[in-house]
Amino acid sequence: MSTAITMFNPGAQLPAHLQGRDVDATTKALSGGVGGGRRISIKGAVFRMIVDGKQVAENEDRAMNVVIVNAAPYVNRQFYAGAYQEGAVESPTCYSSNSKTPDKDIEVPQSVSCDGCKQNIAGSGQGESRACRYQQRLAVVLEGEIDGPIYQLALPATSLFGKGEPNNVKMPLQAYAKYLATNGTPIAGVVTEMRFDTASATPKLTFKPTRFLEADEFAIAETQGDSADANRAIALSVFKQDTAKGKPAPAAAAAAAAAPAAEPTVAPKAKPVAPVAPKKTAAEVVAEWDD
């Protein structure tokens, strides 16, 4: 039987295969540091399995268990000048792979930096929201299929930031990753429960660990995290419009309907922008957190 992880405390005993390991780049990325054809959508507060742009299954349970095997090294941002329309396929007006500066290929950047951008001010979007939306992309596998298909999961700001509950039962992603890191546990070494927050008006996930992976499961999860599919899942790619003709650019048109996206849907083409962060030593990770 697997060791339960609900009793975590600074003195908790990790399984032997997780002891003495550095906190990996994936855990660091999700704690606030630094797509393929399959994805999980949380549209309408329902887990939807999307393959090549088509929904193939849905899970109306409030929770789903996965293993997070990789993550984009940075939270990214995307801004659309027009109002969102259901089913529409269009290019973001401005976007950032590192959440600090607009990407180099943007025709009309909104600012030289994200922090000083007018689209990053509360109230620039609907209500008190920001017009430029945060997002982070994960590569996940299902608990019962750790050696199976890798899915992209794009999370909005509501699922990323905040402190969560004091008892660590329901945590946003960054708080969850920091909780694991504090206990020296790689995020790919545990099964993570993703649960919809029913008190939220929009789709919002909270996270908690349910068990440690067995040694053989962890070895598979590490291999999955290093795979090409995982790297594609976490790359920020955006749909590019041929502005001269008002039509999708030839390279993007074929993939527009099937490309992975955030909520609301953004259909991308496969053009990785942010590199996968290299693995670091524990000393390097701790030093960065203290900055």
Cβ of 237: how many Cβ atoms within 10 Å?
22
Query: Which residue's entry shows tokens 């975590």?
Result: 8
Give me the percent of the chain exceeding a pLDDT of 90.
50
Residue 88: partners with Cβ closer than 8 Å, 6 or more residues away: none
Interval 81-131: pLDDT, tens: 876 555 555 778 999 998 899 999 888 899 999 999 999 998 888 888 889
pLDDT higher for 27 or 276?
Answer: 27
Tell me the three state secondary structure of residue 133: strand
**Residue 99 is encoded by which pair of tokens?**
């959440």
Q: What is the pLDDT of residue 76?
A: 92
Beta 63-71 vs 190-196: how paired, if at all? antiparallel
Q: What is the pLDDT of residue 30?
A: 62
Q: What is the pLDDT of residue 31?
A: 54
Q: What is the pLDDT of residue 66?
A: 98
- Predicted confidence band of residue 242 (pLDDT cuts 50, 70, 90): very low
Whether residue 110 contacts residue 93, with contact meaning beta carbons closer than 8 Å, is answered with yes
CA 144/CA 158 separation, integer angstroms: 27
Q: What is the pLDDT of residue 169?
A: 72
**Residue 172 is encoded by which pair of tokens?**
């946003």
pLDDT higher for 40 or 87?
Answer: 40
pLDDT higher for 46 or 285?
Answer: 46
**Residue 113 is encoded by which pair of tokens?**
């930096």
CA 276/CA 188 separation, integer angstroms: 16
pLDDT higher for 288 or 221?
Answer: 221
Tell me the whole-structure pTM to 2 decimals: 0.69
CA 203/CA 167 separation, integer angstroms: 22
For residue 262, is pLDDT > 90? no
Q: What is the pLDDT of residue 160?
A: 95
Least confident of 36-50, 162-176, 225-239: 162-176
Interval 198-220: pLDDT, tens: 999 999 999 999 999 999 999 99
In the chain the first and final C-alpha atoms are separated, in Å, by 40
Q: What is the pLDDT of residue 12?
A: 57
Q: What is the pLDDT of residue 187?
A: 96
C-alpha dist (Å) from residue 202 to 100, 159, 193: 26, 10, 19
Whether residue 152 contacts residue 139, with contact meaning beta carbons closer than 8 Å, is answered with yes
Q: Is the peptide bond before 248 cis (omega within 30 degrees of 0)?
A: no
CA 196/CA 40 separation, integer angstroms: 14
**Residue 173: which of 100, 71, 36, 56 has the closest Cα?**
71
Taking residues 221-244, report their average pLDDT.
80
Q: What is the pLDDT of residue 60?
A: 86
Q: What is the pLDDT of residue 265?
A: 37
Query: Which residue's entry shows tokens 């203290």?
Result: 290
Return mean pLDDT, the chain. Answer: 77
Taking residues 247-264, report their average pLDDT.
42
Q: What is the pLDDT of residue 33?
A: 43
| Sequence ranges of the domains in the chain | 16-289
Interval 147-190: pLDDT, tens: 999 999 999 999 999 987 756 678 999 999 999 999 999 999 99
Taking residues 261-268, report their average pLDDT.
40
For residue 268, is pLDDT > 70? no
Cβ of 20: how many Cβ atoms within 10 Å?
9
C-alpha dist (Å) from residue 76 to 71, 131, 151, 155, 163: 12, 14, 18, 10, 20
C-alpha dist (Å) from residue 31 to 114, 196, 244: 20, 20, 41
